[in-house]
Amino acid sequence: MATAEAPAAAGGAQIIDGKMTAELIRKEIAVEASAIKSKYGKSPGLAVVLVGSRGDSATYVRSKKKACADVGIESFGTELPEDVTEEELLKVVQEYNENDAVHGILVQLPLPKHINEQRILDAISLEKDVDGFHPFNIGSLAMRGRQPLYTSCTPKGCLELLKRYSVPISGKRAVVLGRSNIVGMPVAHLLQGEDATVTVVHSKTKDAREICAEADILIAAIGKAEMVKADWVKPGAAVIDVGTNPIPDESKKSGYRLVGDVAFKEVREKAGYITPVPGGVGPMTIAMLLQNCTEGAKRVLEKAASAPAS
């Protein structure tokens, strides 16, 4: 297989197929969830909390619940109105913290502006933080020699794709475009943990294009439609596109289509590897969520089974 330094083969980069990879992982999870059920008499359980009526959030939440049903994870859901109070939302989180059938809790972000997101994320039990957004989990991710209980799903999905396609990471130069708490920051820590030399490029960075063009691995998570053009990319680089940006398209019934942060057509001619949008990182995010939930359930159920009876 080509390495990330090799120039793109004729016909362009190898396409990293996130959809197919996620399907494989989901099959592995279905086997694991069924083994958990046989051994402990309980299925892994995931609670998803949706606040307000954002169309994109509602779509993500629907997909997450369907994915749970497909692999044998029991899903629990709470939908709250846009004007819910912080205390009411905290109460819902607390109830799921105390519910033994729930092994993972996910509060879909973003939350309405009047709610203190930090306070809500901090309230999720560490053992149930399948999003990996709790400061203790993020802190452990950032520290050498520590392992978080959970790693955030989209960053974990990016690394999983690089590994499954045998893209070398150790000693390579990785550039992360974007510094969000959900993707940019944790994926930078993950890459550093794999011994890449990591630079984070953000809205205030000077010479962003030149820095990106030095990357062996480029993770684009800036939320700007097709911002990364071919001259931002080193020949042969592995390009992971996390963006999902709607752009007007009159040929679609919805009136729009989704594109990534990378100008796919031109960049695929230059890169060594590239993820498409859709069908790249997106399906991996859900697969990693299912994996986190299943692993969390196993950890808790194993511990309970081995505890001496009181």
**Residues acting as catalytic residues:** 64, 108, 131
Contact 212/177 with Cβ under 8 angstroms?
Answer: yes
- Other C-beta atoms closer than 10 Å to the C-beta of 298 total 18
Window 205 to 224, contacts with ligand GUN (CB under 6 A): none
Cα separation of 71 and 90, whole Å?
29
Task: Report the residue closest to ligand GUN, judged by CB.
Answer: 109
The C-alpha atoms of residue 127 and residue 62 are separated, in whole angstroms, by 24
Compare residues 5 and 127 and give the one whose CB is closer to ligand GUN: 127
Closer residue to ligand GUN, CB minimum distance, 111 or 211: 111
Which parts of 121-160 interact with ligand GUN (CB under 6 A)? 131, 153-154
Shortest spacing between CB 109 and ligand GUN, in angstroms = 4
Segment near ligand GUN (CB under 6 A); pick from 92-100, 105-113, 207-215, 239-247? 105-113
- Which residues, 6+ apart, have CB-to-CB distance to 121 below 8 Å? 107, 131, 133, 134, 135
Judged by CB under 6 A, the stretch of 85-93, 103-111, 205-213, 218-226 that binds ligand GUN is 103-111
Q: Look at residues 240, 264, 149 and name the one whose alpha carbon lies nearest to residue 191.
A: 240
Alpha helices in the chain (DSSP H): 18-40, 55-71, 86-98, 117-123, 135-142, 153-164, 184-193, 208-212, 264-267, 281-306
Which of 43, 108, 137, 294 forms a contact with ligand GUN (CB under 6 A)? 108
297 DSSP assignment: H
- Going by C-alpha positions, the residue among 132, 45, 51 that lies closest to residue 97 is 45
Q: With binding defined as CB under 6 A, does residue 182 bind ligand GUN? A: yes
Exactly one of 29, 33, 106, 196 binds ligand GUN (CB under 6 A); that residue is: 106
Q: Which of 13, 33, 92, 107 binds ligand GUN (CB under 6 A)?
A: 107
Alpha carbon distance 309, 152 (integer Å): 34
Shortest distance (Å) from residue 20 CB to ligand GUN: 21
- Site track for ligand GUN across 267-306, x = CB under 6 A: ------------------x---------------------
Residue 14 near residue 2, CB atoms below 8 Å: yes
Binding window for ligand GUN (CB under 6 A); candidates: 101-109, 158-166, 202-210, 248-256 = 101-109
Residues that bind ligand GUN (CB under 6 A): 106-109, 131, 153-154, 182, 285
